[in-house]
Amino acid sequence: MRTTTTALPEHFDVIVVGAGISGVGAAWHLQHQCADKRYVVLESQPSFGGTWITHRFPGIRSDSDLYTFGYRFKPWTGAPIATAAEILKYMGEVIEENDLAAHIRYGHRIVSASWSTPERRWTLRVRRVDGGDEITLTANFLWMCQGYYRHESGYTPRWPGMADFGGRIVHPQTWPADLDTKGKKVVVIGSGATAATLIPALAPHCAHVTMLQRSPTYFRTGRNVNDLADMLRALEIPEEWTHEIVRRKVLYEQDLFARRARAEPEAVRRELIENLRGLVGDKVDVDLHFNPRYRPWQQRLAFVPDADLFKSIAAGQASVVTDEIERFVAGGLLLKSGATLEADIIVTATGFDLSVLGDIPFSIDGAPLEFHKTVTWRGAMFTGVPNLLWVFGYFRASWTLRVDLLGDLVARLFKQMEATGATMVVPRLRDADAGMELKPWVLEEDFNPGYLARGMHLLPRQGTAEPWLHHQDYQRENKELPRASLTDGALVFEA
Ligand SMILES: Cc1cc2nc3c(=O)[nH]c(=O)nc-3n(C[C@H](O)[C@H](O)[C@H](O)COP(=O)(O)OP(=O)(O)OC[C@H]3O[C@@H](n4cnc5c(N)ncnc54)[C@H](O)[C@@H]3O)c2cc1C
């Protein structure tokens, strides 16, 4: 008689989901702060980078400075605003210098995650993207670094007549490698950071590029250099020091700006607009096209290095139209004002589709997880969801700052579990929290980009007092998180 043996699934102390800037950071923290933990990083794409390999449109670059978008543990030595290729090189060095490669499995997409309290572990079904076969892995703890948007495709609204358009419609997130824009009339729909990056990269060789926006966006401009970093280098200060000093200065100035934007929005608005007026002169009606309805920083404020977008506009290679689309027509777009825009190519720089927990169906002890019904513990863990932490970075400061703060938190959490013999930690509202008002994951008056507004109903809620807040304030969290109590009863540890 033939006997079959069922091999036990491979087991890890920690599974990290995603090898973007968050997942690679998580691996570094595990390696350096939790050396006894057996861990693996699972990534569905064929390489690391997340955002920075998904997006391949011309000109792709960061819009925050790399002194803060870089990790605290690896000095950034280039210009503050970096291309995707430079960010990937930096991440590659982090992987190589810290022997992280052996811990990362590419082409592994997690398709379900279920928690069992009796077994005190997560079971993941994982599809191998190449072979298509499925494997099962188990873990004591899940460190979710899957980002916040769906990587496969971007968000494109449906407009009437799209099928009538004779040219190509492309989304920057899925930029076709064969797209030839030379000598073409291009309309870019949208005026966020992606449009601001793409347009100056396309403008010099296109017939013309038009940025079509429904409503204006704020832009800041500045040289793509950091004078303090250059001075410290001239003084031969070690790069580690330069990194730390420049980080602190950048953070200080960003914080000052964010606070000013709240305290005196009209003054900040005027400054931003007058800066642009100085760049484009009378080529553009600045009050019409660059004076947003919202206050500065209520949506991400795009930084335009060396003002390249505005140089393209001033040179007449690019222009701005503020109007709405009535319909697509064979030769371009008919606008609500009655005007038409001729186009060979239409780029929909219209944003993302929010992806909550990597689109992975979760269950807890057999019941589907209703994530939107949970309440967040410090924007990182969730009531009723054991042994799981999600990295959701900052909007107004670099995302990566939170990666490092949460790396320290995980290390503290694991030490606390070891010290108390706990195998499970789960946030639970305490008696004292009963009746607390619950608010959305991100408060609309604080930050309201389209992808969040469209997906807010899928996201956890926050309360009105610590530790149930997700306040998106790096300066505050930098002080509070390292000292945040793990023993105030909001986290329940069980053996
Ligand atoms: C064009 C662009 C420019 C940006 N510029 C900046 C900037 O300058 N500064 C800033 O702070 N932020 C910026 N952002 C926001 C940016 O996304 C974050 O800062 C950061 O890169 C997110 O990193 P992450 O690792 O958390 O997520 P991602 O970069 O989204 O990576 C997540 C990874 O998880 C993988 N994954 C997801 N689900 C699964 C699954 N089920 N199974 C296996 N793997 C999975 C994905 O394939 C992906 O590789 C930018 C975003 C875009 C799109």
Residue 20 has pLDDT above 80, yes or no: yes
pLDDT band at 263 (very low <50, low <70, confident <90, very high): very high
Q: What is the mean pLDDT of residues 275-292?
A: 92
Ligand 1: residue whose CA is nearest its atom 45: 18
- According to DSSP, the residues that pair with 492 across neighbouring strands are 426
pLDDT beyond 60 at 5:
no
- Residue 43 confidence (pLDDT) above 80: yes
151 alpha carbon to ligand 1 midpoint, in Å?
A: 8
Rg (CA), the chain: 24
> How many other CB atoms sit within 10 Å of the CB of residue 440?
17
Amino acid at 453: A
Residue 63 has pLDDT above 80, yes or no: yes
- Pocket lining: 403 vs ligand 1, CB cutoff 6 Å: no
Average pLDDT rounded to a whole number, residues 259-282: 93
> 20 in ligand 1 pocket by Cβ < 6 Å?
yes
Q: What distance in angstroms lies between residue 50's CA and the mean position of ligand 1's atoms?
A: 5
Mutate to test the pocket of ligand 1, among 62, 106, 146 (most ligand atoms within 8 A of CB): 146
Separation of CA 36 and ligand 1 centre (Å): 28
- Supply the pLDDT for residue 258: 86
Pick the atom of ligand 1 nearest to 197's CA: 1
Q: Which two tokens stand for residue 396?
A: 């107004």
| pLDDT band of 283, cuts 50, 70, 90 | confident
User: How do 302-305 and 318-322 pair as beta strands?
Assistant: unpaired
Q: Would the CB of 194 count as within 6 Å of ligand 1?
A: yes
- What pLDDT is recorded for position 3? 43
Residue 1 has pLDDT above 50, yes or no: no
pLDDT value at residue 396: 80
What's the pLDDT tens digit per position in 370-386? Answer: 999 999 999 999 999 99
Ligand 1 atom with the shortest distance to the CA of 42? 43
The answer to whether residue 4 scores a pLDDT higher than 70 is no
Measured by CA distance, the residue closest to atom 39 of ligand 1 is 358
Residue with tokens 């792709």: 60
Distance 149 CA to ligand 1 centre (A): 7
Q: How many CA atoms lie within 13 A of 35 on its CB side?
A: 3
Whole-number Å distance between alpha carbons of 67 and 391: 19
Token code pair at residue 63? 């819009």
Question: Does pLDDT of 469 surpass 90?
Answer: yes
pLDDT exceeds 60 at position 291: yes
Instruction: Please write the tens of the pLDDT for every residue from 127-137.
Output: 999 887 999 99
pLDDT digits (tens, 9 = 90+) for 316-373: 999 999 999 999 999 999 999 999 999 999 999 999 999 999 999 999 999 999 999 9
Q: Considering only CA atoms, which residue is closest to atom 19 of ligand 1?
A: 399
pLDDT band of residue 451 (cuts 50, 70, 90) is: confident
Distance CA 189, CA 488 (A): 49
pLDDT number for residue 6? 63
Q: Given the CA of residue 352, which atom of ligand 1 is nearest to it?
A: 53
Residue 268 and residue 261: Cα distance in Å, rounded? Answer: 6
Mean pLDDT, the chain, as a whole number? 94
According to the model, what pLDDT value does residue 459 have? 93
Q: Over 70: is that where the pLDDT of 105 sits?
A: yes
Per residue, the 3-state secondary structure of the chain, as one string, reads: CCCCCCCCCEEEEEEEECCCHHHHHHHHHHHHHCCCCCEEEECCCCCCCCHHHHCCCCCCECCCCHHHHCCCCCCCCCCCCCEHHHHHHHHHHHHHHCCCHHHEECCEEEEEEEEECCCCEEEEEEEECCCCCEEEEEEEEEEECCCCECCCCCCCCCCCCHHHCCCEEECHHHCCCCCCCCCCEEEEECCCHHHHHHHHHHHHHCCEEEEEECCCCCEEEECCCCHHHHHHHHCCCCHHHHHHHHHHHHHHHHHHHHHHHHHCHHHHHHHHHHHHHHHHHHHCCHHHHCCCCCCCCCCCCEEEECCHHHHHHHCCCEEEEECCEEEEECCEEEECCCCEEECCEEEECCCCCECHHHHCCEEECCEECCHHHCEEECCCEECCECCEEECCCCCCCCCHHHHHHHHHHHHHHHHHHHHHCCCEEEECCCHHHCCCCCEECCCCCCCCCHHHHHHHHHCCEECCCCCCCCCCCHHHHHHHHHHCCCCCCCEEEEC
